[in-house]
Amino acid sequence: MLTAVEVIEVPGITGVLLFRPAPHRDERGFFSRTFDRDVVAKAGLDPDAFVQDSISRSRKGVVRGMHTRSGKGEAKLVRCSYGAVFDVVVDLRPGSPTYRNRETFDLTGDNQVTVYVPAGCAHGFQALTEPADVSYRIDRAHDPSEDVAIRFDDPDLGIPWPLPVTLASDRDRAAAPLDSAIARLS
């Protein structure tokens, strides 16, 4: 049995897409296709551009982000494979008509929604469950010299994290404010 996938353009940030599957559910649980090259191609993305898959597991309240990359940036497909997260995307592409817009999404292991984050956008999330697993499909090999982190609590971002932030990495706590990070991206 095939599962249908609805592709939704997110109006608040140009180029951000949601891939919303219709999992097949029965008494055993569910089955959901998490990546379909034909669906991705019909959405205007090159499915062969994705070169790396990664997964993170986070405890409830953990914030990871806000992260982006300098140079060519990094596009990614992000989904919560287990648990639930509050996901955030911020457009940091200077020429974009949605520059500095922010969108948030509820991603869960139950809904299996995938967010496409275009290169030049910052991304982060907060784990809402104990634990939450987030899967990433990335279009470039990781180069630590291009990592750019923005303070998750920067007032210019004004991200309404739904839970108190219980833990963030030293890197994320010491991250640059938004304007400094934007200067590094230029």
Burial class (CB in 10 A: 0-12, 13-18, 19+), 120: buried
**Active-site residue among 24, 82, 136, 142?**
136
What is the maximum span of the chain, computed from C-alpha positions, in angstroms?
53
**Active-site residue among 67, 82, 116, 142?**
67
Q: Where are the beta strands (DSSP E) in the chain?
A: 5-9, 17-21, 24-26, 29-31, 52-58, 63-69, 76-82, 84-91, 102-108, 114-117, 121-127, 132-138, 147-149
Identify whether 136 is a catalytic site residue: yes
DSSP state of 169: -
Identify whether 142 is a catalytic site residue: no
Q: List active site positions.
A: 67, 136
